[in-house]
């Protein structure tokens, strides 16, 4: 029996903190994963300009992590580390490989789209998180970006343990908030596979990035995905545990949304607000600072409605709610992270293996179990989520149960941080190191304690995060022994990916 399972089934005295004993039933879990929110984008992480009262309340009622890391500095590989429990030296998906280019067109009203869209599929020989949850008796739902396989591939929500899905199969399509179609897999509605749901009102108007008719589109995907998520929660009860993965696309570009009270509250708040001319799938827009701030406040409103829904149904005390982001802040579609100081005084943004590209907000709320108002500096990464969930739901020896014995390289790299969540830091196992590689910018990184090795095109820099969190002072020349040790970790952890397009990272000697 796992340590955490003993805690959950035992008396409150076992925690030594006066916590209430967990019910015999397994906890529900809702993981809210937003898109391209930087470490410093929330008020509870020091953001002075943007209002996030509901997420701040989550932090005051739960645990806020200060040294949590995404699995990669961009979307698809970062989400792959969460899904697989593997770091990017071992995952199959290590970049944003697309399947929409050069595909035949399908007509949607006055517009058209490729007939197949999406990203590189997850390896079907390696288990992913929804499959584990489903195997443990959970009802599973996912709402938002999938990014784990293109339409019709071997890896879609239907084939990978998701009972109900609504959103964007393709993260490239998700660059627009007023799309021509969304994807759905809902057996209760008669779906036998993932289907496209045409946005009948939107397709009457052009989706050209500078065409003013785009403003006439009214079917806003952010609200539509959120309403489907709320409806799914409404269907749940205390009789069967549920796992919801809400992969909202906010606040990723484009900076375009309904002109409602949330957006209007930010008009005139920022000096020298900017205009974006529009390019590709990012539509032209004005007041980009107001647009970005409103997107985060809108996302915060979604979080508040989720918490309120759980409480109204009497499910909040047995539901773990997690909020995080898939990587650091973006500067696409008119985004300006420097204006907001959004990187939390960290160097680097999205696509960078510097701290600003991979250190993320991470908040966990579970009333009566996770200590309220606790700020924790435990060092963890997305690939720790799989073992943590297994620990919390009582799935012992998951690597033995779900590991593919046919594969010598069936890695699981995570460490459960359940003891930290439950207030018993003394029992928490620590990582020897954290590891990243990102082939699209030819970067790698290793963190071991406070030492951070940053590698770009094979060139190494060493930083001491205890005294230099902004990574300004390269001390590699002063500590060649540390550099050698961390480079050795790279040689031990890097495996050659079986997707040739991503095999471009330069390994330091």
CA distances from 140 to 240, 244, 346, 372 (A): 11, 6, 35, 27
When comparing pLDDT for 338 and 502, which is higher? 338
Give CA–CA dist 421/378, Å, rounded: 10
pLDDT of residue 25: 83
The position carrying tokens 């918490």 is 307
CA distance 417 to 204: 49
Mean per-residue pLDDT of the chain: 93
Q: Which helix (H) or strand (E) holds 291?
A: helix 288-312
Strand partners, 165: 142, 185
* pLDDT for position 468: 97
User: 459 forms bridges with which residues in the sheet?
Assistant: 456
Upper half-sphere CA count for residue 466 (Cβ side, 13 Å)? 4
pLDDT in tens, 355-382: 999 999 999 999 999 999 999 999 999 9
* Domain chopping of the chain, boundaries: 28-370, 442-509
Q: Which of 176, 182, 144 is nearest to 162 (CA)?
A: 144
Fold observed for domain 442-509: Arylsulfatase, C-terminal domain (3.30.1120)
Q: Which residue has the tokens 């919801």?
A: 244
In 459-479, which positions are buried (b, 16+ CB within 10 angstroms) versus exposed (e)?
ebbbbbbeeebebeeeebeee
pLDDT the model gives residue 15: 33
pLDDT of 8 over the 70 cut:
no
> Quick one: average pLDDT of 62-87?
98
How far is it, in rounded angstroms, from Cα 427 to Cα 417?
10
- Main-chain phi, psi angles of 500, to 5 degrees: -60, -30
CB atoms within 10 A of CB 107: 10
The encoded tokens of residue 147 equal 């990014």
Is pLDDT at 13 greater than 60 in this prediction?
no
Does residue 165 surpass a pLDDT of 70? yes
Residue-wise pLDDT tens digits, 295-319: 999 999 999 999 999 999 999 999 9
The torsion angles phi and psi of 48, rounded to 5 degrees, stand at: -90, -15
Residue 504 pLDDT level (bands cut at 50, 70, 90): confident
Of the given ranges (193-202, 226-235, 325-334, 340-349), which has the lowest mean pLDDT? 340-349
Give the model's pLDDT for residue 345.
Answer: 85
The answer to whether residues 18 and 12 touch, using CB atoms and an 8 Å cutoff, is yes
ω into residue 428 within 30 of 0, thus cis? no
Q: Give the per-residue pLDDT at 410.
A: 85
Res 23: pLDDT: 38
pLDDT digits (tens, 9 = 90+) for 470-486: 999 999 999 999 999 99
State in words which class domain 28-370 has: alpha beta
Beta-carbon contacts of residue 444 (< 8 Å; ≥ 6 apart): 353, 436, 437, 438, 453, 454, 455, 490, 494, 505, 507, 508
pLDDT over 50 at 24, yes or no? no
Q: Say how many CA atoms lie within 13 Å of 273 toward its Cβ.
A: 15
Give the pLDDT confidence of 277-286 residue by residue, as tens digits.
999 889 999 9
Q: What is the pLDDT of residues 224-263, one digit of tens each?
A: 999 999 999 999 999 999 999 999 999 999 999 999 999 9
Q: What is the pLDDT of residue 503?
A: 66
Q: For the residues 94-99, what does the mean pLDDT come to? A: 92
């Amino acid at each position: 029996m796992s340590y955490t399972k003993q805690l959950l089934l035992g008396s409150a005295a076992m925690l030594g903190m006066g916590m209430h004993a967990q019910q015999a039933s397994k906890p529900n879990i809702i993981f809210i994963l937003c898109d391209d929110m930087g470490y410093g984008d929330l008020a509870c992480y020091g953001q002075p300009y943007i209002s996030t009262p509901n997420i701040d309340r989550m932090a005051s009622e739960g645990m806020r992590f200060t040294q949590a890391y995404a699995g990669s500095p961009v979307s698809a590989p970062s989400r792959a580390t969460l899904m697989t429990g593997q770091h990017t030296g071992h995952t199959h998906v290590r970049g944003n490989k697309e399947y929409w280019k050069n595909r035949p067109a399908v007509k949607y009203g006055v517009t058209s789209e490729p007939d197949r869209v999406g990203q590189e599929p997850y390896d079907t020989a390696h288990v992913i998180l929804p499959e584990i949850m489903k195997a443990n008796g959970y009802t599973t739902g996912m709402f938002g970006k999938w990014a784990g396989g293109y339409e019709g591939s071997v890896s879609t929500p239907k084939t990978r343990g998701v009972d109900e899905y609504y959103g964007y199969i393709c993260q490239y399509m998700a660059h627009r908030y007023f799309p021509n179609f969304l994807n759905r897999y809902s057996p209760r509605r008669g779906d036998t596979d993932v289907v496209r749901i045409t946005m009948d009102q939107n397709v009457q108007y052009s989706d050209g990035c500078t065409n003013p008719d785009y403003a006439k589109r009214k079917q806003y995907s952010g609200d539509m995905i959120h309403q489907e998520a709320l409806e799914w929660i409404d269907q749940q009860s205390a009789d069967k545990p549920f796992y919801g993965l809400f992969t909202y696309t906010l606040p990723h570009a484009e900076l375009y949304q309904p002109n409602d009270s949330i957006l209007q509250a930010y008009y005139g708040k920022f000096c020298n607000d900017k205009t974006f001319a529009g390019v590709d799938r990012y539509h032209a827009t004005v007041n980009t600072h107001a647009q970005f701030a409103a997107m985060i406040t809108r996302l915060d409103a979604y979080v508040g409605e989720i918490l309120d829904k759980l409480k109204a149904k009497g499910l909040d005390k047995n539901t773990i709610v997690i909020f995080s982001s898939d990587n650091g802040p973006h500067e696409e579609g008119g985004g300006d992270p420097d204006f907001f100081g959004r990187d939390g005084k960290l160097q680097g943004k999205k696509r960078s293996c510097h701290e600003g590209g991979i250190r993320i907000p991470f908040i966990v709320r579970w009333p009566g179990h996770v200590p309220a108002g606790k700020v924790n500096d435990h060092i963890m990464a997305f690939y720790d989520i799989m073992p943590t969930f297994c620990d919390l739901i009582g799935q012992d020896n998951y690597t033995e149960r779900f590991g593919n014995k046919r594969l010598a390289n069936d890695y699981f790299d995570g460490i459960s941080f359940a003891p930290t969540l439950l207030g018993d830091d003394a029992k928490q196992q620590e990582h020897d190191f954290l590891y990243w590689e990102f082939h699209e910018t030819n970067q790698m990184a290793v963190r071991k304690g406070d030492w951070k090795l940053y590698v770009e095109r094979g060139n190494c820099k060493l930083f001491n995060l205890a005294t230099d969190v902004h990574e300004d002072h390269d001390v590699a020349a002063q500590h060649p022994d540390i550099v050698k040790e961390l480079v050795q970790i790279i040689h031990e952890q890097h495996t050659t990916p079986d997707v040739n397009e991503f095999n471009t990272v330069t390994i330091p000697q």
